[in-house]
């Protein structure tokens, strides 16, 4: 168990370093950074000044090691646009994205677990088909479009939720719903197939032969086994949700890390772009590690001998 | 070494009974066929031009609403352009991006997956590492950054998505190659002195192709949704090309008073993606039946 | 005194397929009753039908199905659940997969007791430990805290047996309990079942395809073929004077020391069990029977061949003297 975690951790660090390199190269894709920063109106002299000021006149590998070296200790440099350190910016925005992610995941689990269980217990009935249809439609609806529809219905027509912004907890409800929707189809299908498999298993027949109540058979014996992959995958899903929050944060003008990423891309603010890519990747790596640990903890076959 | 949870190949989950599944398959094929037909010949059939502006006829509603303009079945957009003509043109963009992305990402992912699955050992370690790394990169953000830095354009969007969406191809190609590798006919070809490329292309690929076809539908749907999201955020297909995502973005400012401007392209997008997913599910069911035989 | 379990004309269908077609048998108190037959003859389905554990889509009906005087057909699901694991218990063929991998042995055993008899979990665990000792598991205290995957197949089947005994049931249904186990472990489990029957006064309905097991443990035998009980008899009598051609065929397939001559090939029954569709009439064995004639397609009488010995065939008792097997 500990060896497994250690190995996964080593892999994660290696992956993070690779992503770091890629993030660095990504911002050099456009060719001359100094020209992009200076903007279209700048003169040749302005560009030269910027190039010197940001150290872009040094060879690429020097820039790279300078950046990684500082990034290792949490120093991502200064934002070109926000007049603040990148680390500060991210620190301010991260709680919003994490809140959104957790709200989204909780909502997703609250909806997909009961739906998946229900569909499995009513396999091949109209309820099951309805749930399947719901997941297929859910997979097909673009999240940003769903966001707009919710704005029209909940924000304008019913007027019960604010349309955009970051001020209060209500501002997290609509984005949370939309984010949840991106995970619900996968989690529902996983719950459903897990429950169907569990309910058809020999140990459920044993539980019935023991005369246990139906509720105990479903919620203790079957669900416990079906939940093992669901819980693990949910952690991975949260990683994807954080990465995907950029679209939703932008639509709702929710000032989280995703929105920061979008703003800095629009403003050619490269240090911020690099850092946001890296931070989101590190969160994903951490969450997959968590998924593996959860999986091992929940499944006694992995935990013991 | 057991694979991390995040990498394990997704379990195929079939939908309902085979009868319903077959109906879904047929509906999916019908949807894709209709959109494909619209993309190929639609603009020849629609009399209006998707790019001609008519500022006197802005935001006219579609035929089922009051105040509709004859000749504009689905109304007009904020610049008075015919919405039906733009919608049909947009189908071309969505399908083009979907297909091109699948070809690009398929080439990358299948190559990596087959090599990793066939050779195992160090090669496989590298492939697993590449997949893990790819999965940890936030797709939308990086795609946005690339397009934002290099300027928007159809080709760039395809290249970016192709370079980012190969992970599932690699995961499935790797897992299925591992299964096929140990079959007798592969050993037989090996013993008969077949060359390595011959075995990979003639023995392995045909036997994992059906699984990859399912992945291709999933990735195509995903690519279409991602293109729409990028275009919606203003960093995908450049205007005045009528990408469905861009149409939604342009209509966003008018959606509270003229909701159809976002409803029509949004529904089109959802229906196309649903159709592709239904085809994928149908393929998967066929595959499941094949495996039982 | 009436039989503990009395089943008369049990029918089980899955859609259009008839899995059990009018099976009748009786399990007396304190005896081991064997249901024997080839795989697919409906013996497991019969046991599951008695326990109301049929898979979804299974329909059951019976002229009579009484357990200790209670009419099982009239019980609701809830009432039936109260009986299962309490007064009638069942163990299965697959010890490797019959225990829930996510819970400890102790918790899976204890919940039977707390469900049916109430009381504390601690008391239930004490009872579990006691029963584990009784079924020959050493160090029960340690085993209670272990998970199923940490136990061998033989050990898991012992756990299943101990779990079935938690509430002192009157009837234990054992569906091929030793088939998945090594031969040596098989013998231990059979001996254990025989001991439990004697010491606890337990009645056992044992389902098996193995006539060797029947000979060793059964008091009474019901031979099943294609969903019917074709012959019922006390064990000794069945082996001494089998009547139904199918029973004779089965017995000729098994080497019995002293009865089978050396250097002579063992018998075999040609063909396989036929699929029985709706509207099937007559003897289901006739397509494989060397003595079949046109009357076998009509209704078949149940003939008496002794006090507790009857069979379903057109042939008179002791027809075999007419013709060597």
- In chain C, the domains with their CATH numbers are 5-87+170-322 (3.40.50.300), 98-166 (no CATH)
| Binary contact (B273, A139; C-beta < 8 A) | yes
| Binary contact (C85, A210; C-beta < 8 A) | yes
> What counts of helices (H) and strands (E) characterise chain C?
10, 12
| Binary contact (A225, C101; C-beta < 8 A) | yes
A286/B contact by beta carbon, under 8 A: no
Asked whether A243 and A280 are in contact (CB, 8 A), the reply is: yes
Summary mean pLDDT of chain B: 82
**pTM for this prediction:** 0.85
Query: What pLDDT score does B240 carry?
Result: 80
Residues of C in contact with A216 (CB under 8 A): 111, 115
| Binary contact (A203, C86; C-beta < 8 A) | no
Torsion of CA A9, A12, A18, A22, to 10 degrees: -150
Residues of A in contact with C103 (CB under 8 A): 221, 224
Residues of B in contact with A34 (CB under 8 A): none
Summary mean pLDDT of chain A: 85
Share of residues in chain B with pLDDT > 90 (%): 16
Per-residue pLDDT band at A229 (split at 50, 70, 90): confident
Rounded to an integer, what distance in angstroms lies between the CA atom of residue B30 and that of residue C20? 46
| Binary contact (A14, B142; C-beta < 8 A) | no
Smallest Cα distance from A117 to chain B, Å: 15
* CATH number of this structure's domain A87-302, picked from the four choices 3.50.50.60, 3.20.20.140, 3.30.559.30, 1.10.3720.10: 1.10.3720.10
DSSP C91-121: E-S-TTTSS-TTS-HHHHHHHHHHHHH---H
Question: Cis omega before residue A230 (within 30°)?
Answer: no
Residues of A in contact with B137 (CB under 8 A): 19, 22, 277, 281
Per-residue pLDDT band at B1 (split at 50, 70, 90): very low
Report the residue from C83, C102, C111 with minimal CB separation from A225.
Answer: C102
Asked whether C90 and C80 are in contact (CB, 8 A), the reply is: no
Question: Cis omega before residue B240 (within 30°)?
Answer: yes
Q: Which two tokens stand for residue C23?
A: 């099976």
Query: What pLDDT score does B17 carry?
Result: 47
**Which residues are paired to C311 by β-bridges?**
C231, C303
B139/A contact by beta carbon, under 8 A: yes
A209/C contact by beta carbon, under 8 A: yes
Note the pLDDT tens digit of each residue in B41-60.
877 777 777 777 777 777 77
Q: Which of A207, A211, A221 to mutate to test the interface with C (most CBs of C within 10 A)?
A: A211
Smallest Cα distance from C89 to chain A, Å: 7
Query: What pLDDT score does A31 carry?
Result: 62
Residues of A in contact with B144 (CB under 8 A): 246, 261-262, 265
Note the pLDDT tens digit of each residue in B113-161.
999 988 888 998 899 899 989 988 888 888 888 888 787 788 888 988 9
Rounded to an integer, what distance in angstroms lies between the CA atom of residue C265 and that of residue B68? 92
* CB neighbour class for B226 (10 Å; exposed up to 12, middle 13-18, buried from 19): buried
B13/A contact by beta carbon, under 8 A: yes
Q: Which two tokens stand for residue B274?
A: 């649903």
Query: What pLDDT score does A192 carry?
Result: 92
**ipTM of the prediction greater than 0.85, yes or no:** yes
| Binary contact (A211, C150; C-beta < 8 A) | no
Residues of B in contact with A26 (CB under 8 A): 142, 145-146, 149
Query: What pLDDT score does A222 carry?
Result: 93
| Binary contact (A225, C100; C-beta < 8 A) | yes
Fill in the DSSP letter of residue B82: B
| Binary contact (A27, B148; C-beta < 8 A) | no
Smallest Cα distance from A114 to chain C, Å: 21
| Binary contact (B266, A149; C-beta < 8 A) | yes
B261/A contact by beta carbon, under 8 A: no
pLDDT string in tens for chain C (325-residue length): 578 999 988 989 888 788 888 889 999 998 999 999 888 788 899 999 999 998 888 888 889 899 988 898 888 989 999 999 999 999 998 888 999 999 999 999 999 999 999 889 999 999 999 999 888 888 988 999 999 999 988 899 989 999 999 998 999 999 988 888 888 888 888 888 888 888 888 999 999 988 888 988 899 999 998 888 899 999 988 888 888 888 888 888 777 666 666 666 677 777 777 777 767 778 888 888 878 888 888 888 888 888 888 888 888 776 655 444 4
A125/C contact by beta carbon, under 8 A: no
Instruction: Determine how many CB atoms are found less than 10 A away from the CB of residue C325.
Output: 11
pLDDT of A287 above 70 = yes
- Scanning A102-141 for CB atoms below 8 A from B yields 124, 128-129, 132, 136-137, 139-141
Q: Which two tokens stand for residue A257?
A: 């890390």
For the sheet with C32-36, list strands across it: C88-91, C171-175, C203-208, C32-36, C220-225, C228-234, C309-312, C302-306
| Binary contact (B150, A29; C-beta < 8 A) | yes
A213/C contact by beta carbon, under 8 A: yes
User: B with A: 3 or more CB pairs under 8 Å?
Assistant: yes
Q: Which of C199, C200, C249 is nearest to C223 (CA)?
A: C249
Residue A217 CB partners (closer than 8 Å, separation 6+): A204, A207, A208
Rounded to an integer, what distance in angstroms lies between the CA atom of residue B219 and that of residue B221? 5
For C85, name the nearest residue in chain A, comparing CA atoms only.
A210
Give the residue, A271 or B8, on which the prediction is more confident.
A271
Residues of A in contact with C150 (CB under 8 A): 304-305
Q: Which of B252, B292, B245, B235 is nearest to B268 (CA)?
A: B245
For B272, name the nearest residue in chain A, comparing CA atoms only.
A140
Smallest Cα distance from C165 to chain A, Å: 10
Fill in the DSSP letter of residue C150: G
| Binary contact (C92, A202; C-beta < 8 A) | yes
Residues of A in contact with B273 (CB under 8 A): 139-142
A207/C contact by beta carbon, under 8 A: yes
Smallest Cα distance from C299 to chain A, Å: 37
Query: What pLDDT score does C259 carry?
Result: 62
Query: What pLDDT score does B46 carry?
Result: 73
Going from N- to C-terminal start, the domains of chain A cover 2-72, 87-302
For B226, name the nearest residue in chain A, comparing CA atoms only.
A142
The number of residues making up chain B comes to 293
Assign 3-class secondary structure to A145-189: HHHHHHHHHHHHHCCCCCCCCCCCHHHHHHHHHHHHHHHHHHHHH
pLDDT of A4 above 60 = yes
Question: Taking residues B167-171, what's their average pLDDT?
Answer: 91
Q: Set out the domains of chain B in order of their start, with CATH numbers.
A: 14-291 (1.10.3720.10)
Query: What pLDDT score does C27 carry?
Result: 92
Note the pLDDT tens digit of each residue in B18-40.
556 678 889 989 999 998 888 88
Tell me the CA distances in angstroms from B81 to A12, B85, B95, B103, one per residue in order.
51, 8, 22, 33
| Binary contact (A208, C83; C-beta < 8 A) | no
Q: Which of A133, A244, A265, A295 to mutate to test the interface with B (most CBs of B within 10 A)?
A: A265
| Binary contact (A208, C84; C-beta < 8 A) | yes
B286/A contact by beta carbon, under 8 A: no
pLDDT of A52 above 80 = no
| Binary contact (A295, B266; C-beta < 8 A) | no
B19/A contact by beta carbon, under 8 A: no
């Amino acid at each position: 168990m500990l060896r497994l975690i250690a190995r996964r951790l080593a892999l994660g660090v290696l992956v993070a370093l690779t992503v770091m390199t890629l993030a660095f190269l990504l911002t050099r894709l456009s060719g001359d950074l100094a020209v992009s920063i200076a903007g279209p109106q700048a003169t040749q002299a302005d560009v030269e000044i910027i190039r010197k000021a940001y150290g872009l006149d040094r060879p690429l590998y020097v820039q790279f090691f300078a950046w990684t070296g500082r990034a290792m200790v949490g120093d991502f440099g200064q934002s070109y646009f926000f007049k603040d350190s990148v680390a500060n910016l991210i620190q301010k925005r991260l709680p919003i994205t994490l809140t959104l992610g957790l709200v989204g995941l909780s909502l997703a689990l609250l909806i997909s677990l009961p739906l998946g269980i229900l569909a499995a217990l009513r396999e091949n009935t109209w309820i099951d088909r309805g749930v399947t249809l719901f997941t297929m439609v859910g997979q097909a609806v673009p999240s940003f479009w769903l966001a707009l529809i919710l704005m029209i219905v909940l924000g304008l027509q019913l007027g019960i939720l604010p349309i955009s912004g970051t001020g209060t907890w209500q501002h997290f409800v609509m984005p949370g719903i939309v984010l949840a929707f991106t995970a619900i189809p996968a989690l529902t299908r996983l719950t459903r197939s897990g429950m169907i498999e569990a309910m058809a298993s020999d140990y459920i027949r044993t539980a019935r032969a023991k005369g246990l109540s139906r509720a105990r058979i479903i919620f203790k014996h079957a669900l416990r086994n079906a939940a093992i992959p669901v819980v693990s995958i949910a952690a991975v899903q949260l990683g994807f949700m954080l990465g995907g929050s950029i679209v939703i944060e932008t639509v709702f003008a929710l000032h989280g890390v995703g929105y920061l990423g979008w703003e800095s891309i629009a403003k050619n603010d490269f240090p911020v772009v690099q850092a946001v890519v890296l931070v989101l990747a590190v969160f994903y790596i951490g969450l997959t590690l968590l998924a593996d640990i959860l999986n091992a903890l929940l499944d006694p076959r992995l935990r013991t001998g | 070494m057991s694979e991390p949870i995040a990498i394990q190949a997704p379990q195929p989950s079939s939908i309902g009974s085979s009868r319903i599944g077959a109906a879904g398959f047929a509906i999916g094929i019908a949807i894709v066929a209709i959109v494909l037909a619209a993309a190929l010949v639609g603009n020849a059939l629609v009399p209006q031009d998707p790019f001609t502006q008519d500022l006197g006829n802005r935001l006219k509603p579609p035929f089922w609403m009051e105040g509709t303009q004859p000749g504009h079945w689905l109304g007009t957009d904020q610049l008075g352009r015919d919405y039906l003509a733009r919608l049909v043109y947009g189908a071309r963009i969505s399908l083009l991006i979907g297909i091109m992305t699948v070809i690009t990402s398929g080439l990358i992912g299948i190559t990596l997956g087959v090599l990793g699955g066939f050779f195992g050992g160090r090669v496989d370690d590298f492939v697993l590492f590449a997949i893990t790394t790819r999965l940890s990169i936030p797709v939308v953000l990086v795609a946005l950054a690339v397009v934002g830095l290099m300027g928007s354009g159809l080709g760039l969007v395809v290249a970016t998505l192709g370079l980012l969406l190969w992970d599932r191809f690699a995961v499935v190609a790797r897992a299925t190659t591992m299964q096929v590798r140990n079959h007798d006919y592969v050993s037989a070809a090996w013993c008969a002195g077949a060359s390595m490329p011959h075995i990979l292309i003639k023995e392995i690929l045909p036997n994992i192709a059906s699984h990859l076809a399912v992945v291709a539908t999933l990735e195509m749907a995903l690519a279409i949704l991602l293109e729409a999201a990028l275009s919606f955020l203003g960093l995908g297909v450049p205007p005045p090309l009528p990408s469905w995502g861009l149409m939604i973005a342009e209509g966003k400012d008018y959606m509270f008073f003229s909701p159809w401007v976002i409803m029509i392209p949004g529904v089109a997008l959802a229906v196309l993606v649903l159709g592709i997913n239904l085809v994928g599910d149908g393929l998967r069911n066929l595959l499941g039946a094949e495996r039982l035989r | 005194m009436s039989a503990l379990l009395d089943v008369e004309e049990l029918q089980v269908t899955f859609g259009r397929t008839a899995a059990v077609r009018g099976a009748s048998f009786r399990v007396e108190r304190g005896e081991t009753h064997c249901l024997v037959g080839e795989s697919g003859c409906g013996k497991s389905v019969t046991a599951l039908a008695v326990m109301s554990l049929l898979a979804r889509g299974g329909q059951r009906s019976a002229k009579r199905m009484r357990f200790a005087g209670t009419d099982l057909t009239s019980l609701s699901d809830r009432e039936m659940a109260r009986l299962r694991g309490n007064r009638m218990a069942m163990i299965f063929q697959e010890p490797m997969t019959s225990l829930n991998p996510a819970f400890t042995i102790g918790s899976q055993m204890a919940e039977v007791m707390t469900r049916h008899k109430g009381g504390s979990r601690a008391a239930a665990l004490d009872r579990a430990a006691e029963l584990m000792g009784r079924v020959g598991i050493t160090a029960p205290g340690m085993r209670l805290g272990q998970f199923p995957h940490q136990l061998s197949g033989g050990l898991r089947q012992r756990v299943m047996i101990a779990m079935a005994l938690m509430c002192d049931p009157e009837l234990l249904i054992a569906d091929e309990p030793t088939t998945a186990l090594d031969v040596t472990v098989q013998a231990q489990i059979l001996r254990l079942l025989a001991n439990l029957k004697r010491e606890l006064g337990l009645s056992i309905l044992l389902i098996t395809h193995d006539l060797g097991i029947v000979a060793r443990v059964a008091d009474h035998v019901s031979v099943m073929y294609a969903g019917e009980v074709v012959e019922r008899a006390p064990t000794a009598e069945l082996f001494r004077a089998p009547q139904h051609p199918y029973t004779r065929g089965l017995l000729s397939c098994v080497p019995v020391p002293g009865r089978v001559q050396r250097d002579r090939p063992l018998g075999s029954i040609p063909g396989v069990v036929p699929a029985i569709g709706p509207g099937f009439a007559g003897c289901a064995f006739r397509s494989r029977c060397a003595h079949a004639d046109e009357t076998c397609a009509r209704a078949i009488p149940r003939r008496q061949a002794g006090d507790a010995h009857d069979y379903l065939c057109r042939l008179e008792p002791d027809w075999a003297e007419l013709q060597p097997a």
